[in-house]
Amino acid sequence: MATTDQSQSGVAGRYARALFDLATEHKAVADVASALSSFQGLIDESEDLQRLMRSPVFKSEDQTAAIEAIAAKAGIKGLALNFLKVMGGNRRLAAVPSAISAFNTLVSQSKGEATAEVTSAEKLSAKQLADLKAALKAATGSDVAIDAKVDPAILGGLIVKVGSRMMDNSLRTKLNSLKAAMKGTQ
Protein backbone atom coordinates (compact mmCIF):
# COMPACT_ATOMS: atom_id res chain seq x y z
CA MET A 1 0.00 0.00 0.00
CA ALA A 2 1.36 3.42 -0.91
CA THR A 3 1.95 5.91 1.86
CA THR A 4 0.90 9.53 1.75
CA ASP A 5 3.03 10.50 4.74
CA GLN A 6 5.17 13.43 3.63
CA SER A 7 8.03 12.21 5.82
CA GLN A 8 8.41 9.15 3.59
CA SER A 9 7.12 10.11 0.15
CA GLY A 10 8.67 12.20 -2.59
CA VAL A 11 12.30 13.07 -3.15
CA ALA A 12 12.68 15.01 0.09
CA GLY A 13 11.05 12.22 2.10
CA ARG A 14 13.30 9.55 0.64
CA TYR A 15 16.44 11.57 1.42
CA ALA A 16 15.14 12.35 4.92
CA ARG A 17 14.34 8.68 5.60
CA ALA A 18 17.80 7.59 4.43
CA LEU A 19 19.46 10.23 6.61
CA PHE A 20 17.29 9.33 9.60
CA ASP A 21 18.11 5.63 9.25
CA LEU A 22 21.83 6.41 8.96
CA ALA A 23 21.75 8.84 11.89
CA THR A 24 19.90 6.26 14.00
CA GLU A 25 22.46 3.62 13.10
CA HIS A 26 25.31 5.97 14.15
CA LYS A 27 23.39 7.17 17.25
CA ALA A 28 23.69 10.73 15.95
CA VAL A 29 20.04 11.75 15.46
CA ALA A 30 20.25 14.69 17.89
CA ASP A 31 23.51 15.96 16.35
CA VAL A 32 22.15 15.74 12.82
CA ALA A 33 18.88 17.41 13.83
CA SER A 34 20.81 20.26 15.46
CA ALA A 35 23.07 20.73 12.43
CA LEU A 36 20.12 20.69 10.02
CA SER A 37 18.29 23.20 12.19
CA SER A 38 21.32 25.50 12.00
CA PHE A 39 21.45 25.11 8.22
CA GLN A 40 17.71 25.82 7.91
CA GLY A 41 18.32 29.02 9.88
CA LEU A 42 20.98 30.02 7.36
CA ILE A 43 18.56 29.32 4.49
CA ASP A 44 15.83 31.39 6.13
CA GLU A 45 18.18 34.35 6.63
CA SER A 46 19.82 34.47 3.21
CA GLU A 47 18.06 35.13 -0.08
CA ASP A 48 21.39 34.51 -1.84
CA LEU A 49 21.61 31.02 -0.36
CA GLN A 50 17.99 30.34 -1.35
CA ARG A 51 18.76 31.47 -4.90
CA LEU A 52 21.90 29.30 -5.03
CA MET A 53 19.93 26.26 -3.93
CA ARG A 54 17.00 26.79 -6.33
CA SER A 55 18.79 27.98 -9.45
CA PRO A 56 19.56 25.46 -12.19
CA VAL A 57 22.07 27.94 -13.65
CA PHE A 58 24.82 26.95 -11.19
CA LYS A 59 26.80 23.77 -11.80
CA SER A 60 26.31 21.11 -9.16
CA GLU A 61 30.04 21.24 -8.35
CA ASP A 62 29.79 24.98 -7.68
CA GLN A 63 26.66 24.56 -5.57
CA THR A 64 28.25 21.76 -3.56
CA ALA A 65 31.46 23.75 -3.02
CA ALA A 66 29.45 26.75 -1.83
CA ILE A 67 27.37 24.58 0.52
CA GLU A 68 30.55 23.01 1.92
CA ALA A 69 32.06 26.45 2.57
CA ILE A 70 28.88 27.71 4.24
CA ALA A 71 28.58 24.55 6.32
CA ALA A 72 32.23 24.80 7.41
CA LYS A 73 31.69 28.37 8.64
CA ALA A 74 28.54 27.27 10.49
CA GLY A 75 30.31 24.27 12.07
CA ILE A 76 28.15 21.72 10.26
CA LYS A 77 30.00 18.45 9.77
CA GLY A 78 29.60 14.70 9.79
CA LEU A 79 26.41 13.11 8.52
CA ALA A 80 24.62 16.44 8.08
CA LEU A 81 27.42 17.78 5.88
CA ASN A 82 27.54 14.56 3.87
CA PHE A 83 23.77 14.74 3.43
CA LEU A 84 24.02 18.29 2.04
CA LYS A 85 26.88 17.29 -0.26
CA VAL A 86 24.97 14.30 -1.62
CA MET A 87 21.89 16.43 -2.26
CA GLY A 88 24.09 19.02 -4.00
CA GLY A 89 25.87 16.39 -6.08
CA ASN A 90 22.50 14.98 -7.15
CA ARG A 91 21.13 18.44 -8.02
CA ARG A 92 18.54 18.23 -5.24
CA LEU A 93 19.46 21.32 -3.20
CA ALA A 94 16.04 22.86 -3.86
CA ALA A 95 14.55 19.96 -1.88
CA VAL A 96 16.77 20.50 1.19
CA PRO A 97 14.22 22.57 3.19
CA SER A 98 11.53 19.94 2.59
CA ALA A 99 13.97 17.16 3.47
CA ILE A 100 14.89 18.95 6.72
CA SER A 101 11.21 19.27 7.58
CA ALA A 102 10.63 15.59 6.78
CA PHE A 103 13.67 14.62 8.88
CA ASN A 104 12.32 16.63 11.83
CA THR A 105 8.97 14.86 11.44
CA LEU A 106 10.72 11.48 11.56
CA VAL A 107 12.62 12.54 14.69
CA SER A 108 9.36 13.65 16.33
CA GLN A 109 7.60 10.42 15.38
CA SER A 110 10.45 8.38 16.85
CA LYS A 111 9.96 10.25 20.15
CA GLY A 112 6.19 9.76 20.09
CA GLU A 113 5.59 13.46 19.43
CA ALA A 114 3.26 15.11 16.98
CA THR A 115 4.75 17.73 14.67
CA ALA A 116 3.10 21.10 14.22
CA GLU A 117 4.03 23.21 11.22
CA VAL A 118 3.58 26.81 12.37
CA THR A 119 3.77 29.72 9.93
CA SER A 120 3.95 33.27 11.26
CA ALA A 121 4.55 36.69 9.72
CA GLU A 122 7.57 37.27 11.99
CA LYS A 123 9.93 34.98 13.86
CA LEU A 124 8.33 33.81 17.10
CA SER A 125 10.13 34.44 20.40
CA ALA A 126 11.14 31.59 22.70
CA LYS A 127 8.28 32.47 25.07
CA GLN A 128 5.74 32.52 22.22
CA LEU A 129 6.99 29.11 21.03
CA ALA A 130 6.79 27.71 24.57
CA ASP A 131 3.24 29.05 25.03
CA LEU A 132 2.19 27.66 21.64
CA LYS A 133 3.75 24.30 22.44
CA ALA A 134 1.83 24.14 25.73
CA ALA A 135 -1.45 25.07 24.01
CA LEU A 136 -0.92 22.46 21.29
CA LYS A 137 -0.06 19.80 23.89
CA ALA A 138 -3.32 20.58 25.69
CA ALA A 139 -5.27 20.40 22.42
CA THR A 140 -3.68 17.23 21.04
CA GLY A 141 -2.96 15.36 24.26
CA SER A 142 0.63 14.59 23.26
CA ASP A 143 3.95 16.34 23.12
CA VAL A 144 4.30 18.55 20.08
CA ALA A 145 7.46 19.48 18.20
CA ILE A 146 7.13 22.81 16.41
CA ASP A 147 8.49 23.35 12.91
CA ALA A 148 8.38 27.16 12.75
CA LYS A 149 8.41 28.98 9.42
CA VAL A 150 8.24 32.67 8.62
CA ASP A 151 6.10 34.01 5.76
CA PRO A 152 5.63 37.81 5.81
CA ALA A 153 2.86 37.42 3.19
CA ILE A 154 0.39 36.22 5.86
CA LEU A 155 0.61 39.74 7.39
CA GLY A 156 -0.12 38.59 10.95
CA GLY A 157 -1.56 35.77 13.01
CA LEU A 158 -0.62 32.11 12.65
CA ILE A 159 -1.22 29.13 10.41
CA VAL A 160 -0.90 25.93 12.43
CA LYS A 161 -0.95 22.48 10.85
CA VAL A 162 -0.85 19.33 12.98
CA GLY A 163 -1.16 16.18 10.93
CA SER A 164 -4.16 16.61 8.65
CA ARG A 165 -5.71 19.36 10.79
CA MET A 166 -5.03 22.99 9.93
CA MET A 167 -6.04 26.22 11.62
CA ASP A 168 -5.54 29.33 9.51
CA ASN A 169 -5.84 32.36 11.74
CA SER A 170 -3.74 34.61 9.51
CA LEU A 171 -4.62 38.21 8.84
CA ARG A 172 -4.36 37.59 5.09
CA THR A 173 -7.08 34.92 5.25
CA LYS A 174 -9.32 37.10 7.41
CA LEU A 175 -8.93 40.01 4.98
CA ASN A 176 -9.68 37.77 1.99
CA SER A 177 -12.80 36.44 3.74
CA LEU A 178 -13.94 39.97 4.52
CA LYS A 179 -13.31 41.02 0.92
CA ALA A 180 -15.34 38.08 -0.38
CA ALA A 181 -18.16 38.85 2.06
CA MET A 182 -18.24 42.49 1.01
CA LYS A 183 -18.38 41.56 -2.69
CA GLY A 184 -21.31 39.27 -1.98
CA THR A 185 -23.42 42.04 -0.39
CA GLN A 186 -23.25 44.43 -3.34
Q: What is the DSSP string of the chain?
A: -----TTTSHHHHHHHHHHHHHHHHTT-HHHHHHHHHHHHHHHHH-HHHHHHHH-TTS-HHHHHHHHHHHHHHHT--HHHHHHHHHHHHTT-GGGHHHHHHHHHHHHHHHTT-EEEEEEESSPPPHHHHHHHHHHHHHHHSS-EEEEEEE-GGG-SSEEEEETTEEEE--HHHHHHHHHHHHHHT-
Residue 28 has pLDDT above 90, yes or no: yes
Q: What is the pLDDT of residue 174?
A: 87
pLDDT band at 23 (very low <50, low <70, confident <90, very high): very high
d(Cα 102, Cα 108) in Å, to the nearest integer?
10
Band of residue 30 on the pLDDT scale cut at 50, 70, 90: very high
pLDDT in tens, 142-161: 888 888 888 888 988 899 99
Give pLDDT, residue 132. 92
Q: In the prediction, which pLDDT does 140 show? A: 85
pLDDT at 87: 94
- Position 164 pLDDT exceeds 90: no
Question: Which pTM was predicted?
Answer: 0.71
